[in-house]
């Protein structure tokens, strides 16, 4: 690699190349290895209807972004929700393909993502041949296909979300202690219920052999800590994670709400003793239209002050944080300037649109330099890794090139090594180093 200062002309080209060539450690997905089962089966022929590894054209088309979008076109008055959910997966995909891709131009980011994925896989979107796409996917072996997708997306490792309170996933961990050992995937322990529904979580923990009760006595809290330790051991999770509503508040040492007590007395002490970060995804208001199922959630403005209090009161803990509302982003970035134990990550969910990714990446770069994690895929369907990283890399590269051009205008000439260092920090090292503490 050259240490020669870069001339102005090839600067943008070099930055783009550095971002494209840098493998990414995707820090947050909902993806799984084949050991968790796959409904698609593929060439292996081993279809598991409750399997957690989702992939293929029908899963791409029936992803909840597109389910919600198709009801903009064909309202429930014409296709009742119950009738849609009675359809087979293929029938749902046929309906969405027809309405969003054939009857209308597929202009939304979610629709474009399907087409980018097909093109990057070597399939021709201009064919508009849904049956042909299905035949191609049916020929794929799930494990080999994971390798192919990771290679195309240039993803070196995929971080799972392992929800301990999901009965399907929990049983898979109990049945096979090695279920999460695929080296391509890193586990993360997710335990929303401890903070969002202590009473319900306590009932389940009691059923599972832990003496945890609705009253948060010292004994109950210690047994809850034992539960958390056991599942961190079982999953070998690299951090702990929760998704929280816009109403989430943490008021400090005097806040005795059940969620705050569980956070202060159970979650943060255990993660601190294990040296593991805590990831908070804040701002999803669940099921405002329950008929859409996973597509029925919305966004709400959250409280950055609670994040500040946590960072200040728990200096021995490290916090990953992303917020869903655009209105929260500037305040959250300023918070990250004040606390080194806070790492902002990604453009989550409704923010995963090109105009907003560009805006947020620019603002973060201007306030934080290269000390943040610009993106995570949040993929629930394996193939989404392809389009989410293809689209995001281009946007990140554009911002980084612009910022290096601003530096060049001052007389500061970056070297090729420095540009590649920046790319590695943004797409890999910032996450890796924050994990390590």
- 85: domain CATH number is 1.10.2020.10
Contact 216, 261 (CB under 8 A): yes
Contact 82, 76 (CB under 8 A): no
Within this chain, do residues 82 and 229 fall inside the same structural domain, yes or no? no
Q: Strand 162-163's sheet: what is its strand order?
A: 162-163, 189-190, 240-244, 278-282, 319-323, 342-344
Decide: residue 201, CB within 10 A, 0-12 exposed, 13-18 middle, 19+ buried: buried
Residue 145 lies in a domain: no
Last residue of a domain, one of 94, 110, 138: 138
- 395: domain CATH number is 3.20.20.140
Number of domains in the chain: 2
Q: How far is 299 from 286, CA to CA, in rounded Å?
A: 9
Q: How far is 281 from 323, CA to CA, in rounded Å?
A: 6
Cross-strand bridge partners of residue 26: 158
**Alpha helix ranges (H) inside 275-373:** 304-313, 329-338, 354-368
Contacts of 61 by beta carbon, 8 Å cutoff, 6+ apart: 92, 93, 96, 97, 114
Coil/strand/helix, residue 255: coil
pLDDT tens, N- to C-terminus, the chain (437 residues)? 456 666 655 899 999 999 999 999 999 999 999 999 999 999 988 899 999 999 999 999 999 999 999 999 999 999 999 999 999 999 999 999 999 999 999 999 999 999 999 999 999 999 999 999 999 999 999 999 999 999 999 999 999 999 999 999 999 999 999 999 999 999 999 999 999 999 999 999 999 999 999 999 999 999 999 999 999 999 999 999 999 999 999 999 999 999 999 999 999 999 999 999 999 999 999 999 999 999 999 999 999 999 999 999 999 999 999 999 999 999 999 999 999 999 999 999 999 999 999 999 999 999 999 999 999 999 999 999 999 999 999 999 999 999 999 999 999 999 999 999 999 999 999 999 999 99
Residue 147 lies in a domain: no
Residue 267 lies in a domain: yes
Within this chain, do residues 31 and 70 fall inside the same structural domain, yes or no? no
Within this chain, do residues 381 and 278 fall inside the same structural domain, yes or no? yes
Within this chain, do residues 240 and 369 fall inside the same structural domain, yes or no? yes
**Alpha helix ranges (H) inside 108-247:** 109-120, 130-138, 142-153, 167-175, 192-196, 198-207, 218-235
Nearest C-alpha neighbor of 140 from the set 382, 410, 384, 433: 382
Within this chain, do residues 114 and 228 fall inside the same structural domain, yes or no? no
Domain region containing 116: 42-138
Structure tokens at 389: 């990283």
Q: How far is 83 from 63, CA to CA, in rounded Å?
A: 17
Global pTM reads: 0.96
Residue 63 lies in a domain: yes
């Amino acid at each position: 690699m050259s240490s020669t200062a870069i001339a102005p002309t090839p600067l943008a080209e070099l930055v783009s190349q550095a971002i494209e060539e840098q493998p990414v450690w995707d820090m947050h997905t909902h993806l799984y290895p084949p050991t968790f089962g796959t409904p698609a089966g593929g060439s292996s022929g081993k279809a598991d209807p409750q399997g957690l590894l989702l992939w293929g054209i029908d899963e791409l088309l029936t992803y909840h972004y597109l389910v919600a979008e198709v009801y903009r076109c064909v309202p429930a008055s014409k296709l009742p929700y119950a009738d849609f959910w009675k359809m087979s997966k293929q029938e749902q995909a046929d309906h969405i393909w027809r309405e969003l891709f054939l009857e209308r131009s597929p202009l939304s980011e979610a629709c474009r993502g399907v087409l980018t994925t097909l093109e990057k896989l070597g399939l021709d979107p201009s064919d508009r041949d849904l049956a042909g796409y299905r035949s191609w996917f049916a020929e794929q072996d799930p494990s080999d296909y994971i390798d192919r997708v990771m290679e195309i997306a240039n993803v070196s490792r995929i971080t799972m979300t392992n929800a301990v309170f999901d009965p399907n996933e929990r049983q898979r961990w109990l049945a096979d202690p090695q279920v999460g050992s695929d080296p391509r995937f890193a586990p993360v322990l997710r335990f929303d219920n401890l903070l969002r529904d202590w009473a319900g979580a306590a009932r389940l923990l009691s059923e599972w052999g832990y003496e945890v009760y609705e009253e948060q006595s010292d004994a109950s809290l210690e047994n809850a800590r034992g539960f958390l330790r056991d599942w961190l051991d079982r999953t070998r999770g690299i951090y702990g994670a929760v998704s929280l509503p816009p109403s989430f508040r943490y008021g400090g040492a005097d806040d005795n709400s059940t969620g705050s007590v569980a956070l202060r007395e159970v979650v943060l002490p255990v993660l601190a003793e294990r040296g593991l970060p805590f990831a908070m995804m804040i701002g999803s208001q669940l099921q405002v239209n329950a008929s859409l199922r996973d597509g029925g959630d919305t966004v709400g403005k959250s409280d950055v002050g609670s994040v500040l209090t946590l960072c200040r009161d728990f200096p021995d803990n490290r916090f990953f944080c992303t917020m869903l509302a655009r209105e929260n982003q500037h305040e959250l970035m300023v918070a990250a300037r004040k606390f080194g134990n806070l790492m902002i990550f990604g453009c989550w969910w409704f923010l995963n649109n090109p105009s907003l990714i560009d805006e947020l990446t620019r603002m973060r770069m201007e306030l934080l330099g290269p000390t943040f994690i610009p993106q995570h895929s949040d993929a629930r369907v394996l193939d989404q890794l392809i389009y989410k990283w293809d689209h995001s890399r281009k946007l990140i590269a554009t911002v980084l090139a612009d910022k290096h051009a601003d530096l060049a205008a001052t007389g500061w000439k970056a070297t090729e090594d420095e540009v590649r260092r920046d790319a590695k920090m943004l797409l890999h090292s910032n996450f890796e180093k924050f994990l390590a503490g």
